[in-house]
Amino acid sequence: MSTLFAVTLDPLHIGAGGYRLGRVDNTIVRDAGSGLPKVPGSSLAGVTRSYLMHVLEGEEQKKVQACLASSESEQKDNSEQKGKSEQKGNCGRCLACRLFGYASTARQKKSHIGLLRFYDGNIIAFPVSTIAGPVWVTSPSALALVLDPKDVPAADEDKLIVNGAMPANMNKTNIGWLYLGVLSDTANALAPLREKLGDASGRFARLALAPDWLFAELVNSNLEVRTSVSIDPLTGAAEDGKLFTYEAIPTATLLAFDVDLDEGRCALAADASGANPVAPALARDLLNKTLQLCGVLGMGGMCTRGFGRVKFLGGI
């Protein structure tokens, strides 16, 4: 199991589907228990499978392109192919099918589990504006997802513990709409997270440890909210009743994803002839290359409108 850190380069919108009553029309996916926004593992699996064909070459690329473009079986009825059935669906032979798995179709009667497993991405550090500049807020429960239990620090119940330069003699600050006391991280309690991030820790000038009971409120109160409107193509003006709002995880949010490669099944992931099993090194290399494309092509909704780019800070 590998834990991958990622930073949002743009606002990230993974929609919950449909409209809901509340402050925005289109909400994002949240954890049912904590109420914190998250990135479903299925979203990451989907984009990496889709981007796989961009990192392949030659015959393997053609196989994946043909497989991704295929659909369910359909009956073609014309003068040349009357009565013939064109089998469509997952081929079961290309690297996309073997790495990510496939469901049963008319072409492949059996479904097959993939070699790669993707788990939901969680917010580890969230940017919030203060009078002293942005701080990246985290909490013990968020840090417990990426640190050893012995390295998870304890938070103050009603104050922020800030790791990073703050103005002298500042013992209180606004954070979003709240006004909280500030303590300096003299014990360097957030150092284990900086060590985990390595060179990337420089992106997060100020880390602030908040209590668990406050973390979800800070995150949900400071999500990016955008407003859009449909434009009438004939008049070029806004259409009446077509104003809508949507929320997104803001730029510069630190996320963590768990990704696993089932090396024990690599030898079993042969092609249709029973040969050419997937080498673990090849699977890792292809996954890491597709993850980097998330920083260019994006993931989630509205990628063509300034949303969705996510930069992964490493690989498996």
> At 48, is the secondary structure helix, strand, or coil?
helix
Q: pLDDT tens digit string along 156-207?
A: 999 999 998 788 778 899 988 899 999 998 889 999 999 999 988 888 889 9
Residue 107: predicted pLDDT: 63
First and final C-alpha spacing in the chain: 8
> Pick from 270, 256, 157: which is nearest to 215 by CA?
157
| Alpha-carbon distances of 294 from 8, 54, 109, 191, 267, rounded to whole Å | 10, 12, 32, 28, 28
Q: pLDDT tens digit string along 295-306?
A: 999 999 999 989
> At 184, is the secondary structure helix, strand, or coil?
strand
Whether pLDDT at 83 is above 60 = no
Residue 316: predicted pLDDT: 84
Are 257 and 4 in contact by the 8 Å Cβ rule? The answer is yes
Q: pLDDT tens digit string along 12-28?
A: 999 887 666 667 888 99
Q: pLDDT tens digit string along 115-143?
A: 999 999 999 999 999 998 899 999 999 99
State both tokens at 147.
Answer: 């640190």
Q: Does the reported pTM lie above 0.85?
A: yes
- Ordered DSSP codes for 119-153: --EEEEEEEE--TT--EEEE-HHHHTTTS-GGGPP
Residue 77: predicted pLDDT: 39
Report H helices in 222-293.
Answer: 280-293
> At 80, is the secondary structure helix, strand, or coil?
coil
Are 167 and 239 in contact by the 8 Å Cβ rule? The answer is no
